[in-house]
Amino acid sequence: MDVELLIGIFPQVLLDGIILGFMYALIALGYTMVYGVLEFINFAHSEIFIVGAFVGVEVMLGLKSVGLLEGLPWPVVLILVLLAGMAGSGLLAVAVERVAYRPLRNAPRLIPLISAIGISFFLQDMIRLFESLWRNAFNLVYPTLDVLNLRFELTETMDVSVKSLVVIVGALLMLWALHLIVNRTKVGTAIRAVAEDQAAASLMGIDVNRIISLTFLIGGAMGGAAGVLFGVQYGLINPYSGFIPGLKAFTAAVLGGIGNIPGAMVGGLVLGLLEAFAASYLSLLTGGAFGAEYKDILAFSLLILILIFRPKGLLGEVVRERA
Amino acid sequence: MIQVPLSVGVVAVSALAVAMFPRSVLVFLLFQGSLLFVYRARIPERLRWSLLAAALLVLMPVIGYFNSYYLEVATQVGIFVALALGLNIVVGLAGLLDLGYVAFFAVGAYSWAIFGSPHANIILRGGFPLAGWWFYVFLLVGLAVAATTGILLGLPVLRLHGDYLAIVTLGFGEVIRVLANNLDKPINFTNGPKGITPISRPPTPFGLPYGEYFYFLALLIVVAVVIVNRRLEDSHIGRAWEAIREDEVAARAMGVPLVRMKLMAFACGASFAGVMGVLFSAKQVFINPESFTFLESIGVLAMVILGGMGSIPGAVVGATVVTVLNLQVLKGFSLWLNELKNAGVTVLGYSLADLPTQFEPAKYERMVFGVILVLMMIFRPQGIFPARRRQRELGG
Amino acid sequence: MIHHRVRLVLALLAVLAVALAPASELQAQAGKGTIKIATQSPLSGGQAALGEGIKLGAQLAIERMKGTLEKQGFKVDFVPFDDQAKPDVGVANSKNIIADKDILAIIGHLNSGVAIPSSEVYKEVSLVMISPANTNPVVTDRGYPNVNRVCGRDDIQGVVGSEFAHATMKAKSVYIIHDKTPYGQGVAEFFKADAEKKGLKVLGFEGTEEKSNFDPIITPMKAKNPDVIYFGGIYDQGAPFFKQAREKGVKGKFLGPDGMDSSDLTKIAGKAVVGMHYTSAAGPASALPKAKAFSEEFKKKFGKNPEPYAAEAYDAATIAIKAIEAAAKGGKVPSREDVATAVRKAKLPNGITGDIEFDAKGDRKKALYFVLQVANEDPGKWGDNKIVKQLTIAAPAAAKK
């Protein structure tokens, strides 16, 4: 075993893991937001997230076709695209809630889950139908902004690209914004009140339906932003590419303690680091007997271990559990 | 009492119609519907059961003799009914949300696939595949292995509830699939993504063709599973499960042994899937990990909830509806549209033959399935046949 | 209540009346009968792009070639099936297909995992299956008389790749990544075995189902600095991998199998893949007029470039039609056995993927492989890719194992 190699790649793997972790955390925020209020797994969030990526790529391609992609300064482009993705996903999430979840508010808790799965199937093929009509394409590619691809050499064996930094900064900003909204604003108080007790909140004069719509809007917008950053970071999206990251992010949310916003961040980071280290080191350490493909097994084994000792996730839940 | 001649008539007419129009999917659907009608009709119990038995034991194989596709649909319905009934114990009765149920199906399937094919020669030296009659032994082995796996899964997750349990079971299902996909090295247990083939089939009694044979076997297992389910439901075990589902703390206070009962639920649910897995691998002759994805688990869960959680007829009907919808109705519908297209039918002066390929109906079957799921949940959230207890709850 | 039930039954009977007249029986049976050719491939889900490519390739061939049969008075129909890349759905479809007596040939599948159990069903009625994409050796090694394939075998293509890496690229060390599918892993394993035999140093052999984030795989690979990086898999995974690898500063040369043969490779990875090599049975439009005509016609009809295996599907459907023509000499709709025999005997000189002729197992008698080089980062110029080398390898005579 080449010890020098093992140590040599360590900083880079650490960085890879952190970037991946922030990516998961970004997607996980949407799950956690909705769960915190309704205690319901919004299974369609992975599609809401990928719709954001599609809106983003359409806006970027639109800008490109009128020559503005190069014309505008890149932060402006990025912010425009992010806002468009957030708006698209946020509105979609509100619509989905109105159509498929609100009629089921009082049904047993698994019923909306199945409805969400139905929506997820529907949205995947809707995106596909739309893109095949509009562009006659299945895979869509994010146009590259040269600035984003620049890399900084931190050390000899470690470098980081601008787009990865954008992911990290974006995730931290969103976490901070979400924290402010939930804890410092009147709307946030209302959201927390609804999460605590819908009936009591309604007696206090809070329009519960409006607050739940708002929750979906915020959660969806977070998903949309995550989608755009996902597209910028990895470049390639297709109508089905939201599914796996969605599943991972959901795992991250549970790992950190679902319904808990800092928990989503912690869970995302733990999962990202674990995956990065497993995928990079397993094959080196076992001489090729076990390889990168075991990363999911390690991730889920760790999840089980953590949940055995901390059954409510790393940071615990903020809301009580429904019996 | 008009329903007595009506029931007999519906079954007879629909069976006759299937005989006359063997290719029409709608007619076969009518036949399936007639069984449901008989099940629900107010007729003497003895007549009901003899009609159902006649339809399933005689008419169905005869139909299948002329069109093996219908027999295949019926066999897959049988497989998924058993899976749904197994998951129904875990989710519906004991209230433990399991998102990785297909793992047990995989464990059963691989247990026969490995030893019923030459593949085992790689692991152990010589003597494989086992002779066909071992298949019957392996039905029990698959059951035992799956039940053990169920307990192994159950042990670490005893303290978890709700969505934490859901995510761990989801992870467990993925772990089993990833293992199946990767255990071709260092020791080749599963042959990885390339799968295992050829898997032996048992010798059939009376020279029955394999189509009919697997149909009858699936039917037999389903009947056994239904009986076991019924007995469990009404036993103290079933009541303990329901107590756990309704309120765990109260159940423990009443002296329900939580650990044992939860493990029992996992083991029972898993064992049905294990048996069907063995049958599935023999029927398919080839298996690889692609059959055991997360989406399959979700599909079985949808069957249970669509039918009505915790209800045996619900699970049966839910599994039937979903399977028939996916394999038959949606396929039939897109084939029909394709035929219209090929025949150059015009709608409002627009020839369907000019339809761009983006609208190929075969591409959107899953989208329609998604819409149906949502509509079903909105308009009948309690499921098609809700459990009696739940009906009372909703009624009161 | 009773009335309600009666009404229900009446409604059911009304439905029955409609059902009695499916579309095919409505239309007058034109001429001497109907001949149908079906495809089975995933048309929904994550692999739909490739599956649809197979469907469109076959559809194009049937529309172009059906003239002769139609002149003889047959009606030729095309029936696409969606197998959802799931074995159980594929098997159910197959039963449905064999129940339709008009279907005389199957073009499919994409996944070997679906093709193997489904072909067991076709075999029951001797329905011929011509596969455009199932490269798993098992598919034909079972020796079924009705199973043929136009595409190559993993055990040939992997060897072609390693031969090229060794002899032409002069590589000393390789790093192999695959996608954990039967196809990708299969071809990667044969590449590895042959590379080791030739004395190349295999620095790593990794499988991954990951589709977006390849960082953790690239980092150790970069540290080991291989001469050649081989990706066994499809372009939708290979392209992002190559792109990210170049971005992270990996220096080695890229090599891949025919799953890379799509203009989307350059659309996704851009200049990162310019100059990379891939092996394929289908020649480039730049050198072969036939391939050029195909890709232009495909583009004209469907508005996009053909996916990998679309050309193979086109050839497969062409052979099916030619074989049916040959078997229908008596002016009657031929039997399925006759079609299967005719396919085995069929010769298609100058198909898009070369001269096609099947051996006793249903493999190509001679598999012609091209090694191609990506010429331009513009996806519109995918056809400019040049042939760097040409290798003809006969199928392994006897099944290994």
Q: How far is A165 from chain C (nearest CA, A)?
A: 15
Least confident of A34-38, C143-147, C285-289: C285-289
Q: Do A118 and B369 touch (CB under 8 A)?
A: yes
Q: Do A293 and B364 touch (CB under 8 A)?
A: no
- pLDDT tens for each residue of B204-219: 888 888 889 999 999 9
Same domain, B154 and B172: yes
Stretch C180-196: mean pLDDT: 92
**Is it the case that residue C372 has pLDDT exceeding 70?**
yes
Please give the structure tokens belonging to residue A103.
Answer: 């009629």
Give chain B positions within 8 Å (CB) of A112.
377
Residue B293: closest CA among C212, A296, C116, A256: A296
Same domain, B77 and B38: no
Stretch B32-47: mean pLDDT: 88
Q: What is the pLDDT, as a whole number, of residue B390? A: 60
- pLDDT tens for each residue of A300-315: 888 888 888 888 888 8
With tokens 């099944």, the residue in question is: C399
By DSSP bridging, strand C74-82 and strand C33-41 are: parallel
Structural domain harbouring A267: 3-131+160-309
pLDDT > 70: percent of chain B: 97
- pLDDT tens for each residue of C291-318: 888 989 999 998 888 888 999 999 999 9
With beta carbons less than 8 A apart as the criterion, state whether C205 and C256 touch: no
**Is it the case that residue C399 has pLDDT exceeding 60?**
no
Stretch C81-106: mean pLDDT: 90
Q: How far is A77 from chain B (nearest CA, A)?
A: 32
Stretch B213-239: mean pLDDT: 93
Q: At what angle do helices B365-379 and B330-342 cross, to 10 degrees?
A: 130
Q: How far is C264 from chain A (nearest CA, A)?
A: 8
Supply the Cα-derived Rg of chain C in whole angstroms: 23
Q: Do B377 and A107 touch (CB under 8 A)?
A: yes
Nearest residue on chain C to B66, alpha-carbon basis: C99
Same domain, B62 and B74: no
Q: Do B194 and C186 touch (CB under 8 A)?
A: yes
Same domain, B89 and B197: yes
Structural domain harbouring B29: 1-66
Q: What is the pLDDT, as a whole number, of residue C44? A: 83
Q: Do C204 and A288 touch (CB under 8 A)?
A: yes
Please give the structure tokens belonging to residue A60.
Answer: 């970027």
- pLDDT tens for each residue of A262-312: 899 999 999 999 999 999 998 888 877 788 888 888 888 888 888 888 888
**Is it the case that residue A321 has pLDDT exceeding 70?**
no
**Is it the case that residue C33 has pLDDT exceeding 70?**
yes
A16: helix, strand or coil: helix
Q: What are phi and psi of C133, to 5 degrees?
A: -140, -5
Task: Mention every residue, 6+ apart, whose C-beta is less than 8 A from residue C308.
Answer: C50, C53, C133, C234, C235, C258, C259, C260, C261, C262, C280
- pLDDT tens for each residue of A143-198: 888 888 888 887 777 888 898 999 999 999 998 999 899 889 999 999 999 988 88
Q: Do B298 and A103 touch (CB under 8 A)?
A: no
**Inside any domain, residue A278:** yes
Sign of CA dihedral B282, B284, B288, B293: negative
- pLDDT tens for each residue of B289-322: 988 998 899 999 999 988 988 899 999 999 999 9
Same domain, B41 and B84: no
**Is it the case that residue C20 has pLDDT exceeding 50?**
no
> Which domain-ending residue is among B66, B87, B103?
B66
> Which domain-ending residue is among B313, B341, B356?
B313
Residues A107, A239: Cα–Cα separation, whole Å:
30
Q: What is the pLDDT, as a whole number, of residue C398? A: 43
Residue B265: closest CA among B295, B293, B233: B233
Cα angle, residue C132 at apex, residues C127 and C137 outer, rounded to 5°: 85
**Inside any domain, residue B369:** no
Write out residues 288-307 of B within 8 Å (CB-CB) of A: 294, 298, 301-302, 305-306
**Inside any domain, residue A192:** yes
Q: What is the pLDDT, as a whole number, of residue C2? A: 47
With beta carbons less than 8 A apart as the criterion, state whether C348 and C319 touch: yes
Residues B380, B386: Cα–Cα separation, whole Å:
10
Give chain A positions within 8 Å (CB) of C52.
138
Nearest residue on chain B to C184, alpha-carbon basis: B193
Q: What is the pLDDT, as a whole number, of residue A287? A: 79
Same domain, B86 and B120: yes
In chain C, where the domains are located? 32-152+288-364, 155-280+369-394
Cα angle, residue A309 at apex, residues A304 and A312 outer, rounded to 5°: 80
**Inside any domain, residue B305:** yes
With beta carbons less than 8 A apart as the criterion, state whether A113 and A94 touch: no
Same domain, B104 and B168: yes
Least confident of B109-113, B279-283, C10-14, C384-388: C10-14
**For the domain C155-280+369-394, what is the CATH superfamily, name and number?**
Response regulator (3.40.50.2300)
What's the CATH number where A36 sits?
1.10.3470
Q: How far is C339 from chain B (nearest CA, A)?
A: 22
Residues C233, B193: Cα–Cα separation, whole Å:
13
With beta carbons less than 8 A apart as the criterion, state whether C104 and C334 touch: yes
Q: What is the pLDDT, as a whole number, of residue B396? A: 38
- pLDDT tens for each residue of C308-354: 899 999 999 999 999 999 998 777 889 999 999 999 999 888 888 88
CA distances from C29 to A97, B27, B346, C23, C72 (A): 51, 22, 19, 11, 14
Q: Show which subunits contact A, needing at least 3 CB pairs below 8 angstroms.
A: B, C
DSSP character for C110? Answer: S
DSSP character for A72? Answer: S
C33: helix, strand or coil: strand
Indicate the pLDDT class of residue C3, thresholds 50, 70 and 90: low
Q: What is the pLDDT, as a whole number, of residue A102? A: 92
Indicate the pLDDT class of residue B332, thresholds 50, 70 and 90: confident
**Number of domains composing chain A:** 1
Q: Report the Cα–Cα distance between both ends of chain C, in Å, rounded.
A: 67
Predicted TM-score of the model (pTM): 0.89
Q: Show which subunits contact C, needing at least 3 CB pairs below 8 angstroms.
A: A, B
Q: What is the DSSP string of C37-75?
A: EEEEE--SSTTHHHHHHHHHHHHHHHHHHTHHHHHTTEE
Q: Do B373 and A251 touch (CB under 8 A)?
A: no
With beta carbons less than 8 A apart as the criterion, state whether C111 and C42 touch: yes
Write out residues 108-137 of B within 8 Å (CB-CB) of C: none
CATH topology match: C32-152+288-364 vs C155-280+369-394 = yes
Same domain, B143 and B22: no
Question: Which helix (H) or strand (E) element contains residue C318?
Answer: helix C310-327
CA distances from A15 to A12, A279, C225, C250 (A): 5, 14, 20, 17
pLDDT > 90: percent of chain B: 39
CA distances from A147 to A75, A152, B138, C198, C242 (A): 10, 11, 61, 43, 20
Other Cβ atoms less than 10 A from the Cβ of C345: the count is 12
Q: What is the pLDDT, as a whole number, of residue C245? A: 94
A151, β-bridge pairs: A161
Type of residue numbered A21: G
Residues C122, C120: Cα–Cα separation, whole Å:
6
Q: Do C220 and A159 touch (CB under 8 A)?
A: no
With beta carbons less than 8 A apart as the criterion, state whether B350 and B280 touch: no
Q: What is the pLDDT, as a whole number, of residue C400? A: 40
By DSSP bridging, strand A158-161 and strand A151-155 are: antiparallel
Please give the structure tokens belonging to residue C43.
Answer: 């048309």
Please give the structure tokens belonging to residue A245.
Answer: 């990251």
Stretch A114-137: mean pLDDT: 90
Residue from A121, A260, A319 to probe the interface with B (highest B Cβ count within 10 Å): A121
CA distances from A308 to A256, A305, A312, B164, B252 (A): 13, 5, 9, 10, 20
**Number of domains composing chain B:** 2
Question: Which helix (H) or strand (E) element contains residue C228?
Answer: strand C228-232
Residues A36, A91: Cα–Cα separation, whole Å:
19
C369: helix, strand or coil: strand
Give me the helices (H) in chain B, please.
3-20, 25-40, 45-54, 60-66, 68-87, 102-115, 120-123, 134-154, 162-182, 210-234, 236-246, 248-253, 258-284, 294-307, 312-324, 330-342, 365-379, 388-395
What's the CATH number where B196 sits?
1.10.3470
**Inside any domain, residue B352:** no
Other Cβ atoms less than 10 A from the Cβ of C129: the count is 31
Residues A120, B166: Cα–Cα separation, whole Å:
18
Torsion angle, CA of B359/B365/B366/B368, rounded to 10 degrees?
Answer: 90
pLDDT > 90: percent of chain A: 48
- pLDDT tens for each residue of C110-121: 988 899 999 999
Q: What is the pLDDT, as a whole number, of residue A298? A: 86
Q: How far is B308 from chain A (nearest CA, A)?
A: 10
Q: Is B153 on the interface with A (CB under 8 A)?
A: no
| Chain B / chain C CB contacts < 8 angstroms | 165
Same domain, B62 and B73: no
Supply the Cα-derived Rg of chain B in whole angstroms: 22
Q: What is the pLDDT, as a whole number, of residue C27? A: 46
Q: Do B327 and C92 touch (CB under 8 A)?
A: yes
Question: Which helix (H) or strand (E) element contains residue A282?
Answer: helix A261-285
Fold type of domain C32-152+288-364: Rossmann fold (3.40.50)
Same domain, B31 and B149: no
- pLDDT tens for each residue of C348-371: 888 888 888 899 889 988 777 889
Same domain, B190 and B203: yes
**Is it the case that residue B52 has pLDDT exceeding 50?**
yes
Same domain, B61 and B192: no
> Which domain-ending residue is among B16, B43, B66?
B66
B352: left (phi over 0), alpha (psi -120 to 50) or beta: alpha
Q: Do C48 and A157 touch (CB under 8 A)?
A: no
Q: What is the pLDDT, as a whole number, of residue C7? A: 58
Residues A245, C13: Cα–Cα separation, whole Å:
49
**Is it the case that residue C230 has pLDDT exceeding 90?**
yes
* Whole-number average pLDDT of chain B: 88
Nearest residue on chain A to C177, alpha-carbon basis: A292
* Whole-number average pLDDT of chain A: 88
**Is it the case that residue B395 has pLDDT exceeding 60?**
no
**Inside any domain, residue B267:** yes
